[in-house]
């Protein structure tokens, strides 16, 4: 059989026809902007949803970003595949309505699942984040390729159409990220944000379906029973939201907060942040220190200066304001300045934890790193570092540069105490000791013996000064408040720290150091 002549070309493969008429440019732009923005609202709120169960760490943040990007990738891929095989006009409205239904059931699903998946295990984090984000984000990501397919009536303008709609989608994501982060999260509860988003998606989807059927009759996919069942599912999801277990009494800009009364001490109050026990205060007795690490801080403060003498104290992190209240009660006239990034916690403290701002207590809302830089040199007798993001010291507060700022603010002979949480094999506390020791000439460590032996996780208290520490007096006072605790200094502390790295602004892998081996 002879081959065809070389000058005869095979006919080109036929182009897949574009089904239906293009959408008005304004409507197409709105759909892409709205759906892309909705994905970023989900991504931002997801951190608030999963935080009470798995914390707010670098791993959790990375999981939310990664799962959201995976959902966008699979959703866009699937949407493009469907757009080449079915009329996109019949798919757009269902995609938005289904995304609204998935959003409505996200919150109860996460709250019920979160009670089972509590903890920081990587598998629990990934699964809980996937439940929070993947399905609604994938459905929303399918909208853009469906719209693009409809707008490609003239294939000579493919680049212009795709580029314009891609840019509009990106602007939608940027707008939603800024609006959610700066306004919505601070003003509304996560429940309200998600339900409002679900309703908005449903309304837009139904309105779009009505508009498209008027323009060109198109049967929605699936039998009527299926559509009715989905509508019922959405209503059930919204209803479950009202009865799902809620770990928060108050949602601040940074925390899911709850205040619990101590059943064995009627005046005792426990502050829980993201379900972790953060602070304990006694409304009637500010001298009562419940948690071990607060007793250690109190012991160091008790011997930092002659008994009863006022101090100028700076607190990095407020929480329940336990230590400032203790200093005011034991050393009248003490000037307590508290740097607390979460204004909602300050308000909660004033409302429920006996915090009374005045001449002896000033709360300044802002990031401690930024605020310390504005403090005068040699202005504080005592600096207390007790700032946490969930159970992790924020990395920028754990570096040598931060320690240098604290040393600058501390008066000669003044004392810096820093509360740290770590778990075996204790890589972070060793690194933080090395970091503080790089700036303060005299350093000691207070911790439970079991924790030092790497048998359990615990609080550790670093004590630093440019002058020799009153170690004997501290040991005596610790013996009175917590006889089982250990105090390391000198050669013992050097051996414990070993060759641990010094953390710097350039390299401070705090979350990785905290990861258990």
Looking at residue 54, its pLDDT comes to 82
The least confident of 100-104, 154-158, 426-430, 466-470 is 154-158
- 129 compared with 250, residue with greater pLDDT: 129
Contacts of 393 (CB under 8 A, 6+ apart): 385, 387, 418, 420, 421, 432, 510
- 48 compared with 270, residue with greater pLDDT: 270
> 4 pLDDT exceeds 50?
no
Q: How many CB atoms lie within 10 A of CB 472?
A: 10
Can you tell me the distance from the alpha carbon of 311 to that of 327, in angstroms, rounded to the nearest whole number? 8
Among 467, 433, 462, 432, smallest CA distance to 447 is for 462
> 217 pLDDT exceeds 70?
no
Q: E-strand spans in 240-390? A: 250-251, 256-261, 268-273, 276-282, 312-316, 335-340, 361-365, 380-385
Half-sphere exposure of 115 (CA within 13 A, CB side): 9
Phi, psi of 462 (to 5 degrees): -90, 135
Looking at residue 121, its pLDDT comes to 79
pTM of the model: 0.79
Residue 233 pLDDT level (bands cut at 50, 70, 90): low
Can you tell me the distance from the alpha carbon of 249 to that of 397, in angstroms, rounded to the nearest whole number? 28
Mean per-residue pLDDT, 138-149: 95
Mean per-residue pLDDT, 392-401: 93
* DSSP β-ladder status, 335-340 and 312-316: parallel
> 186 pLDDT exceeds 80?
no
Looking at residue 190, its pLDDT comes to 85
Structure tokens at 469: 């520490």
**C-alpha separations of 350 from 38, 56, 194, 446 in Å:** 36, 25, 29, 31
Among 163, 158, 197, smallest CA distance to 29 is for 163
Structure tokens at 434: 């090395």
């Amino acid at each position: 059989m002879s081959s065809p002549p070389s000058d005869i070309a095979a006919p080109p493969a036929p182009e897949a026809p574009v089904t239906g008429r293009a959408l008005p440019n304004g409507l197409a732009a709105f759909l892409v902007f709205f759906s892309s923005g909705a994905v970023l609202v989900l991504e931002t709120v997801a951190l608030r949803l999963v935080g009470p169960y798995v914390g707010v760490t670098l791993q959790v943040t990375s999981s939310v970003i990664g799962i959201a990007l995976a959902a966008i990738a699979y959703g866009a891929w699937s949407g493009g595949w469907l757009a080449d095989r079915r009329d996109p006009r019949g798919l757009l409205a269902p995609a938005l309505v289904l995304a609204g239904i998935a959003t409505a059931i996200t919150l109860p699903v996460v709250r019920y699942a979160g009670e089972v998946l509590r903890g920081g295990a990587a598998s629990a984090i990934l699964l809980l984040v996937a439940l929070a984000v993947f399905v609604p984000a994938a459905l929303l990501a399918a909208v853009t390729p469906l719209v693009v397919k409809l707008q490609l009536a003239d294939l000579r303008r493919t680049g212009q159409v795709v580029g314009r709609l891609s840019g509009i989608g990106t602007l939608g994501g940027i707008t939603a990220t800024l609006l959610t982060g700066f306004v919505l999260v601070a003003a509304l509860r996560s429940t309200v944000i998600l339900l409002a988003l679900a309703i908005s998606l449903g309304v837009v989807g139904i309105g779009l379906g009505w508009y498209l059927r008027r323009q060109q009759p198109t049967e929605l996919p699936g039998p009527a029973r299926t559509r009715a069942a989905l509508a019922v599912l959405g209503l059930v999801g919204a209803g479950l939201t009202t009865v799902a277990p809620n770990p928060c009494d108050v949602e601040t800009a940074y925390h899911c907060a709850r205040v619990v009364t101590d059943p064995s001490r009627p005046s005792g109050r426990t502050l829980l942040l993201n379900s972790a026990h953060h602070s304990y205060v006694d409304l009637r007795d500010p001298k009562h220190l419940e948690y071990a690490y607060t007793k250690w801080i109190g012991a160091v403060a008790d011997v930092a200066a002659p008994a009863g003498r006022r101090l100028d104290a700076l607190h990095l992190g407020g929480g329940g304001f336990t230590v400032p209240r203790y200093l005011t009660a034991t050393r009248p006239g003490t000037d307590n300045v508290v740097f607390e990034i979460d204004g909602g916690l300050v308000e909660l403290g004033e409302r429920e934890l006996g915090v009374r701002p005045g001449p002896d207590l000033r709360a300044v809302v802002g990031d401690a790193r930024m605020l310390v830089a504005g403090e005068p040199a040699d202005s504080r007798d005592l600096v207390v570092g007790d700032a946490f993001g969930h159970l992790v010291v924020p990395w920028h507060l754990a570096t040598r540069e931060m320690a240098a700022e604290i040393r600058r603010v501390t008066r000669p002979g003044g004392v810096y105490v820093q509360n740290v949480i770590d778990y075996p094999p204790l890589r972070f506390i060793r690194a933080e000791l090395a970091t503080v020791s790089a700036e303060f000439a005299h350093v000691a460590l207070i911790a439970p013996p079991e924790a030092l032996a790497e048998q359990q996780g615990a609080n550790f208290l670093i004590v630093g000064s440019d002058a020799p520490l009153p170690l004997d007096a501290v040991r005596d006072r610790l013996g009175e408040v917590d006889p089982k605790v250990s105090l390391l200094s000198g050669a013992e502390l050097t051996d414990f720290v070993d060759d641990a790295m010094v953390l710097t602004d350039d390299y401070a892998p705090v979350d990785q150091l905290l990861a258990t081996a």
